[in-house]
Amino acid sequence: MESIKKINVGVVGFGLSGRVFHSPFIHTNPHFNLSVIVSSKNDAREIYPDVEIIRDFDDLLKREDIELVIVSTPNQLHFEQAKKALEAGKHVIVEKPIAPSSNEVLRLIEIARRCNKKLLPYHNLRWNGDARTVKQILKDNLLGEVWDCELHFDRFVPEIKGKEWKYGNPVGGGTLYDLGVHLIDQAVDLFGKPEAVFCRLFNQRMGSAVDDSFDLKLIYPLLNVTLKAGVFVKEQGPRIAIHGKKGSFVKYGIDPQEAILRNGGMPIGDDWGKQPEEDWGILNTQINGLNFRGKVETQAGNYHSYFNDVYHCIVDDREPAVTPEQAYLNILIIEKAIESHEKMQVVKL
């Protein structure tokens, strides 16, 4: 039996992203070796005692055994660290947002091509259970032609304490870059590139130097898409609401993977990513002339699928599921949204 080629991985940064969204999946995936973690703290050693912990990013790049580098540091560091890793001959996963500006994304794309290495944006929410379920509903044409879609990322977080790095730096900071990029990626994955945008940004919490809430409209010829995130939403509304010519789909609740990972769980077991029935969405539509209204079981979320795709992208030289060009469009939409807010007008892409 032919042995599986394993890719040695170095994770840069061990904050929320490195600790929750990357290291557990690399650690439990038979295609990868979690070889090195670059961190200024020692907590990574407590979780992964057999993994080498180093302090210096440049020392990681000198390691010839490391094939894949995961950049999971603060947003303003993404471009420079991804650039250096590519130029050091590494394939690179970059946590969202891939870079603060669309021009920087284009530069990374060109560097990756020149170095013949893979640039892999991390848009893991495509593998949330709700995103997978909605995509299947639209693929099966259960709503007919879609007229209206709302995607929300609402929370009740009235203070920014502990998140000053995220809301105090105008370079790649704020909720539009942090959570909005997820909603933009999901909307574009479902409906394609919009023609224009209209956006309002809000700075509602004391001490926040950048936006902490937004209301973004993606404008299509016959479709209205609204993306919203708020920090003063104590009573949650629908996470997803889509309405079409034949019917509607409304979904409450959030994918369970992050909560389990935050609490120290590992992504293993047959029930990984499954949502309880109370969080299943409601489908109200017509099927073969019959009216139907009922719960739709949410497909299991599984971020492992992203990393499996990365593995085959590298080993088999395949196109990744999330391309750098798609990540470029996401950042371009953010830039146009900021321009729209500043000018208080619709801005074309």
CA distances to 139, 148, 294 from 291, rounded to whole Å, are: 19, 20, 10
- Has residue 8 got a pLDDT over 70? yes
What are the φ/ψ torsions at residue 332 (nearest 5 degrees)? -60, -40
Structure confidence at residue 162 (pLDDT)? 66
Structure confidence at residue 2 (pLDDT)? 54
Selected residue with higher pLDDT from 168 and 71: 71
Each residue's pLDDT tens digit, 239-268 = 999 999 999 999 999 999 999 999 999 999
Copy the structure tokens of residue 199: 């956006």
Q: What is the pTM (predicted TM-score) of this model? A: 0.95
Is residue 131 within 8 A of residue 186, CB to CB? The reply is: yes
Structure confidence at residue 159 (pLDDT)? 86
Each residue's pLDDT tens digit, 202-234 = 998 877 788 999 999 999 999 999 999 999 999
Structure confidence at residue 169 (pLDDT)? 67
Is residue 156 within 8 A of residue 232, CB to CB? The reply is: yes
Structure confidence at residue 281 (pLDDT)? 98
Each residue's pLDDT tens digit, 23-47 = 999 999 999 999 999 999 889 999 9
> How far, rounded to the nearest angstrom, does the alpha carbon of residue 27 sit from its chain's CA centroid?
20
- Has residue 154 got a pLDDT over 60? yes
Is residue 154 within 8 A of residue 233, CB to CB? The reply is: yes
Please tell me the total number of residues recorded for the chain in this structure: 349
Each residue's pLDDT tens digit, 323-346 = 999 999 999 999 999 999 999 999
Each residue's pLDDT tens digit, 162-179 = 666 566 667 788 999 999
Secondary-structure class of domain 125-300+333-348 per CATH: alpha beta
> How far, rounded to the nearest angstrom, does the alpha carbon of residue 302 sit from its chain's CA centroid?
13
Structure confidence at residue 67 (pLDDT)? 99
Calpha distance 302→131 (Å, rounded): 11
Each residue's pLDDT tens digit, 96-135 = 999 999 999 999 999 999 999 999 999 999 999 999 999 9
- Domain over 7-122 is classified CATH 3.30.310.50: no
Each residue's pLDDT tens digit, 294-311 = 999 999 999 999 999 999
Share of the chain above pLDDT 90, in %: 90
How many of the other CB atoms lie within 10 Å of CB of 291?
A: 9
Parse the chain into domains and list their residue ranges.
7-122, 125-300+333-348
Structure confidence at residue 307 (pLDDT)? 98
Confidence of residue 1 (pLDDT cuts 50, 70, 90): very low
